[in-house]
Amino acid sequence: MTRLQRSTLTAWLAAHRWPVAIFLFALAIRLVGIGYGLPYVYTADNETSFVWPAAQMNKEGRLHPLFFGHPGSTVIYPFALLIRLLFWWQLATGRYPSYEEFDRAFWADPTDVFLLLRSYTAILGAVSVALTYLVARGVFGDRAALAGAALTAVAPLQHEYSRMARTDIPTTIFGLLTTWAGLRLYQTGAHRWYLAAGAAAGLAAASKFPGGSALAVLAVAHLLAWWTGRTRLVGLGPVLGGLGFLAGFFGSSPYLLLDYPTALKDIAAELETSHLGADRLPGLWNYLWYFYGGFPTALSWPVWIVALPAALGALRRDTARRLVFAAFPAAYLLLVTSGTLRWAHWVIPAIPYVAVWAGWGLATAAAWLACRRNWLPSARYAFGAGLAVVAVWPTFQVVAADYRSLLPDTRTLATNWYAEHLPKGAKVAFEHYAGKPPEGIQLDLRGLLGNKPLAAYRSEHYEYLVVSEYMYGRVYAEPQKFAREVSIYDELFRETELMQEFDPRVLGGWLGKRGPTIRVLRVPPTTAERGA
């Protein structure tokens, strides 16, 4: 690097020190404890849906993922490439002599692969923070963009899912890229931005089907560009946008067309209408749940409280560009909140937008105070103080999560205990999320043990029941709906012998939980069995 290049880089870093610092901070907190749980995969229903197909593609030498649930193509194909690169590296260093050996080691201990794929997703999570700043800066100003990026960096669910090999973060990135292209489409009416916005929306849909709602950005930007005389209402632009969408979607997911029977089957499986603890609430209550449950969980209450009024106030100025900015989160949220289930993590692609609105609210309030309070030295200090106050709680949450990820999960502790204490040949019923059952027992792996009374377990000669808070906790959360199951769990906890309990609370719960509470219950013998 020449002296001129070093000088240019130094000047650029000095001019962009805050965005760069936020990006590096976001990356650091996503990488700390990235190997949580390994070699066990406790997010199996989240991560393995994408990692296993990528591994099988490498093993069998095919491009067909054989899975289209999200559809997840923008995740599965990069994962497959990264797994192949990892193999080549380990082949070159002499660790494994063949792919067969590499694959055998992977299925025995997937640590190396998951560390790589989670790290890749963590980098994408930090990139989404940087994109938040870049997209918002031209619409809301530098301070609002900085605050939006910082609040996205410490958003608890954005942080959590940036550490999983999943589709949520790529969907977020392609949504932001669609917004970025849509803003330029509105400003210029140029055909290339129609194509770019459509392609980004197609890639968002190829990550998660609801990401296709990013097409709303294209529609809103086109209508506003036409209204201001930058383009024609009917012309080549919308056609290019549609073609870009098809190219992005099917270009990254070609087997959706080539093997549509499998695609339809996987999509139908994803469209479940009932899920324990996540069923849709009646009527408007489901939409309201996202206001008092979904977004506060995703962002924290302080950020959400600031963002709500700011989102409405933001439309009073520069309305057209801010409507383009709001198009994707509005369309996406309308779609997912109308579903048959409700999940807090469904709002993740909307987090950067809500964080930016909160940042704009802080910047606007700081400027207002600086104009009316002589004791304030400048709006900059008021803005910094406000951001610090709002960010302190979510920052504490993500730092606590990082600390917990460095500790052994209760499922790991339970797995080790089972191997030492559950006798060989014992008949044991396990709930999900209770760790790995040991070899040598008569295993019955059930989703929920609270749907069968103790007498039934006795009559079928079960010796132990292993229950997880991640299952029975859902029942106790809705006691009226699951009154029968609650009464059965009460009976199980009352009438069985507690052999072992794994308490997940860290520092008495002040730093959250490192997994579920797991209880190992011994089924007492019947009177006849005692007599025998």
Take residue 417 and report the two structure tokens written for it.
Answer: 């205990």
Q: What is the mean pLDDT of residues 190-219?
A: 97
pLDDT band of residue 101 (cuts 50, 70, 90) is very high
Element (H, E) at 501: strand 497-502
220: helix, coil or strand? helix
Percent of the chain whose predicted confidence (pLDDT) is above 70: 96
Task: Quote the pLDDT of residue 376.
Answer: 61
Cβ proximity of 224 and 323 under 8 Å: yes
pTM above 0.85, yes or no: yes
Those residues whose C-beta lies under 8 Å from the C-beta of residue 23, and which sit 6 or more positions away, are 126, 129, 130, 149
Find out whether 479 and 486 touch, Cβ atoms under 8 Å: yes
Average the pLDDT over each of 56-70, 123-137, 145-159, 212-226 and give the range with the smallest value: 56-70
Residues 277, 477 contacting (CB under 8 angstroms): yes
pLDDT at 470 over 80: yes
Task: Assess contact for 218 and 198: CB atoms under 8 A.
Answer: yes
What is residue 220's predicted lDDT score, i.e. its pLDDT? 97
* pLDDT of the residue at 368: 83
Q: Which of 257-266, 347-356, 488-497 has the lowest mean pLDDT?
A: 257-266
Give the contacts of 93 (CB within 8 A, at least 6 positions apart): none
- Dump pLDDT digits (tens) for 227-253: 999 989 988 999 999 999 999 999 999
Taking residues 166-181, report their average pLDDT.
97
- The strand order across the sheet containing 518-522 reads 442-445, 427-430, 464-468, 518-522, 497-502
pLDDT at residue 208 is higher than 80: yes
- Quote the pLDDT of residue 419: 94
Backbone angles phi, psi at 88, to 5 degrees: -60, -40
- The pLDDT of 217-221, averaged and rounded, is 97
Mean pLDDT of the chain: 92
Residue 415, pLDDT > 60, answer yes
Q: How far apart are CA 7 and CA 480, in angstroms?
A: 67
pLDDT value at residue 276: 87
Instruction: State how far the alpha carbon of 60 is from the alpha carbons of 64, 65, 434, 496, in Å.
Output: 10, 11, 32, 48
Residue 508 burial class via C-beta count within 10 angstroms: exposed 0-12, middle 13-18, buried 19 and up: exposed
Q: Are 366 and 379 in contact (CB under 8 A)?
A: yes
Q: For residue 2, what pLDDT is reported?
A: 72
Structure tokens at 292: 């008092």
56: enclosing H helix or E strand: helix 44-60
List pLDDT tens digits, range 339-395: 899 999 999 999 999 999 999 999 999 888 877 766 566 778 888 999 999 999 999
Residue 530 confidence (pLDDT): 56
Q: Please check the confidence at residue 173 and state whether its pLDDT lies above 80.
A: yes
| pLDDT at residue number 531 | 53
User: What average pLDDT does this structure show over 123-128?
Assistant: 98
Interatomic CA distance for residues 87 and 201, integer angstroms: 33
In whole angstroms, give the CA distance from residue 2 to residue 8. 10
Give pLDDT, residue 350.
Answer: 98
Query: What is the rounded average pLDDT of the residues 65-78?
Result: 93
- The 8 Å CB, 24+ separation contacts for 334-337 are 334/213, 335/210, 335/213, 336/210, 337/286, 337/287, 337/290
Res 44 pLDDT > 70: no
Query: Which of 341, 64, 40, 295 shows the shortest CA–CA distance to 158?
Result: 295
Question: Which residues are registered as beta bridge partners of 341?
Answer: 279
Q: How far apart are CA 141 and CA 363, in angstroms?
A: 9
**Mean predicted confidence (pLDDT) in 106-117:** 96
Nearest residue to 411 via CA among 434, 437, 439, 428 = 434
**Stretch among 40-49, 199-208, 438-447 having the lowest mean pLDDT:** 40-49
Average pLDDT estimate for 316-331: 94
What are the sequence ranges of the domains in the chain? Answer: 136-249+283-405, 410-531
Q: What is the radius of gyration, based on Cα positions, of the chain?
A: 26
Hey, is 468 helix, strand or coil?
Answer: strand
69-83, 163-177, 307-321: segment of lowest average pLDDT: 307-321
- pLDDT value at position 273? 79
Backbone phi, psi, residue 304, to 5°: -65, -40
